Structure 1
Amino acid sequence: MSTSTPLRTALIGVALTATALVPLQGTALAAQPGTDTVATTASPVSGIEDATALALARSLADPAWGREVRRAALAADSVGLGALTGDATARAGRKLAAGITEADRGVATAKGLGSGAGSLLRIGLADASMRSRLASGVAPLVAAAPSDDDGAASFTAYDSNGAAHELPLDGATDRPVYLVDVDGAKAVAEGLKVIDKALESKGLNALAPAAAPTAASGIDTTRIDSVRVGDVKEPFFKGDAEIFTLVTGFGKDGKPRVDTVEMPYLNDEDTTYYPGQVLVNWSNYKYDMADAVMMEDDGDTNYQALAKAIAAVLLTITDQGAYIPLADALLDAIPTSWWTDDPDYVDSWYTLARSSSGLRNGAAGNGWMTVSPYHVPEL
């Protein structure tokens, strides 16, 4: 994990209303009276993850179920809890399934995702170095993936009796640890759909009218030939980063627009990737300039709230007949008071031109990309 100072920008950390938050004490995963209770957190998703970790830890008191979970954890880097409990043969796993389904719904609600998001909670070993200890039969602990934004030096894990253990964030522990977290790649994919749909409903991001066919018909784009980020804002215990980019500019109708770009391949810091991915589709834009803001989703992003905040700001901006950067307006749309385990600002690229080619360093100095014009011919 990088030791550089995090470049934070408040892109979400929404304080959900009581109707949006699934109260932990009302779920099947809540602590039972007279037993260890889960500490209250300001983050709805983190709270659900913690309650799930405690419930899963207690369920591992069933040896048969513990073996099923161990086999699954050794067979893959992560496994969906919905599928794991849904396919369980051990009694404790079957008993846990309903609570996991309810917890998945709670996560989807807290993240502003639709009912089609499906199972989002998953587990995996905190670090690959723990595999040998797990395989040899050392009893595991279970924890919610810790936030990297609260400055804590430790996090809480639970054993099969429900007892809490404080573990250091550097991963130094004699016991293997299952981490419960959200499938970030799946959540980002669904969340960007929510943003696109919400902006379209506000009259933003309207599709340009089809142009008459010409001999040179097709689409002019800017393509990412290579990209590298110095700090993906993701600590070791959370695994791969979940990166997405918001491209902003003025649409053909003169209104601001935001196009979402999923970047599931950009997992590790200080690693160069060669995606050949289209970043800007110039047929969507009035001017030959656009901005790009790269973010990393830390888990609590409420995509409905994010879309509403962006739309509220963009609807106040009018076309002055010349290109003006919109990246700062987009970043300033989200109040800093909304921070929890917020999506982290990774870097931004201002005034990308239709003709831009070669190396472009990010404004924050945390990343770079090489780009080139790329014409996509009509079929």
Structure 2
Amino acid sequence: MTGHRYGTAVVCAALSALGLVVAQGTASASADRLPAPPETTVTTTTADATTDAATDVAAIADGAARSLAVSLSGTAWRARVRDAALASDEVDLAALARKAAPTAGERVAPVIVGADRALAKTKGLAPDTGSLLRLRLADDSMRQALRAGAEPLVAAAEGDDDAATVTAYDSAGRPHALDARRVPERPVYVVDVDADRAVAAGLSVLREELARRGLSSAVEPAASASAAGDGFWTSRITSIRLSDDHEPWAKGDAEIYSLVTGFGRDGTVRVDPVDMPYLDTDGRTYHPNQALVNWSFYKYDLADVVMMEEDGSTDYRSLAKAVADALLAVTDLGAYVPLVNAVLDAVPDDWWTDDPDYVDSWYTLARGTTGQVAGARGNGTMTLEPYWVPAF
């Protein structure tokens, strides 16, 4: 498997328990007995009433996977799903279900739509975010067996890098424990969260919430030159590479974003989220020429970068609130203070799981930094150069 994903849930925010119950054991194969759509209940986040958002997202995805598996008892619908999975690397699951004929596919649509709504709520995203669930074939090696008519299993993307098994369901709803490190011979569909859409929507939420607290701008950091007169200096990434990692076959590509932090012109700490959608595979060097830091926003010619991964379970609104609460306590004493630790310390211990989605961090990058810089954790290496962005 070529996809890379750097673990799950360093900044998964605390959220409330879901009202989703995933049935176990043997279930009827009839389409009229699909599991009900999941519902979410948001409660106040207290120390004794907080549930890890990673658990919630995993439950939603698992319930959707089992519902889809049961729906595949219908021959025509199973063929439609097969054709879609073979024709594309990733399929919008809600759109596929809505287009189904009045068979099991049509009856599974409300389950998928309900799961999408539950995911958006759990991740702190707007209700109009759109469909988040995607379907893909776990591995290209399964294509031949799928074309030959082998009955597929359905699994949710595994969030735990250290998991020994992946739970997949057959068309009777029965769970099967598959080896997480060995690609199965039987075809397996994987239900996963659309990381591209989730990060795009999530970073908008981050900017909105951080701007409301006075720690950011409502626009992308490299998008505005109006406040910088004739233009502004940036630190541009000319190349970037993440380290190799061996992960379960059920995982997909990573979706990386960074939090750039420093002291704003007014002396208040600011945070600028930067999306890095191209950075999805480990062991590969990318040449994005992406502006990472907009120096016109900062008082000092120094900034820090914390690189994160969207792992499916990140609650962006809670993340923004936690980071804001921590950084607002940091004061400008007339000299630059590194902020990486403050960002990481903003996440309570009970928000961490076995597989943190913290990728790497870079301390005190300077406006004049040129050349290759390695991350403090040793997972990432960037090559930077100063770059002047002229005003239009």
TM-score by length of 2: 0.86
Query: Does the 8 Å CA contact 1:233/1:344 hold for their aligned counterparts?
Result: no
What's the offset of the Cα at 1:8?
7.8
| Aligned position for 2:142 | 130
What's the offset of the Cα at 1:184?
1.0
* Residues 1:276 and 2:289 aligned together: yes
| Distance in 2, Cα, partners of 1:9 & 1:137 | 34
Amino acid at match of 1:186: R
| Distance in 2, Cα, partners of 1:292 & 1:106 | 31
| Distance in 1, Cα, partners of 2:286 & 2:217 | 31
What's the offset of the Cα at 1:210?
5.7
Q: List runs of 5+ in structure 1 lacking aligned partners.
A: none
Structure 1 residues 279 and 154: alpha-carbon distance in aligned structure 2, compared to 1, 3 A threshold: same
Query: Does the 8 Å CA contact 2:8/2:160 hold for their aligned counterparts?
Result: no
| Distance in 1, Cα, partners of 2:6 & 2:148 | 41
| Distance in 2, Cα, partners of 1:161 & 1:340 | 32
Give 1:201's match in structure 2, choosing from 212, 227, 235: 212
* Residues 1:35 and 2:27 aligned together: yes
| Distance in 1, Cα, partners of 2:9 & 2:183 | 31
What's the offset of the Cα at 1:340?
4.0
| Distance in 2, Cα, partners of 1:68 & 1:9 | 32
Give 1:88's match in structure 2, choosing from 82, 89, 100: 100
Query: Does the 8 Å CA contact 1:126/1:179 hold for their aligned counterparts?
Result: yes
Structure 1 residues 343 and 107: alpha-carbon distance in aligned structure 2, compared to 1, 3 A threshold: farther
Give 1:326's match in structure 2, choosing from 339, 359, 362: 339
Q: List runs of 5+ in structure 2 lacking aligned partners.
A: 29-33, 36-50, 219-223
Structure 1 residues 81 and 10: alpha-carbon distance in aligned structure 2, compared to 1, 3 A threshold: closer
Query: Does the 8 Å CA contact 2:25/2:174 hold for their aligned counterparts?
Result: no
| Distance in 2, Cα, partners of 1:188 & 1:100 | 20
CA offset digits 1:32-53 (Å, max 9, x no partner): 9983899x99700100111111
| Aligned position for 1:120 | 132
Amino acid at match of 2:311: D
What's the offset of the Cα at 1:162?
1.0
CA offset digits 1:60-119 (Å, max 9, x no partner): 000000000000000011101111111112511111111111110000111111112100
| Aligned position for 1:361 | 374
Structure 1 residues 95 and 288: alpha-carbon distance in aligned structure 2, compared to 1, 3 A threshold: same
Between 65-74 and 199-208, the greater mean CA deviation after superposition: 199-208
What's the offset of the Cα at 1:15?
3.7
CA offset digits 1:287-321 (Å, max 9, x no partner): 10001111112111011110110010011111111
| Distance in 2, Cα, partners of 1:144 & 1:280 | 36
What's the offset of the Cα at 1:159?
0.5
What's the offset of the Cα at 1:163?
1.2
* Residues 1:309 and 2:318 aligned together: no
| Distance in 1, Cα, partners of 2:286 & 2:61 | 31
| Aligned position for 2:41 | none
| Aligned position for 2:72 | 60
Q: How many residues align?
A: 364
Structure 1 residues 137 and 296: alpha-carbon distance in aligned structure 2, compared to 1, 3 A threshold: same
Structure 1 residues 148 and 231: alpha-carbon distance in aligned structure 2, compared to 1, 3 A threshold: farther
Aligned residues with identical type, % of pairs: 54
Query: Does the 8 Å CA contact 1:198/1:304 hold for their aligned counterparts?
Result: yes
Partner SS for 2:285: coil
RMSD: 2.7
Amino acid at match of 1:113: L
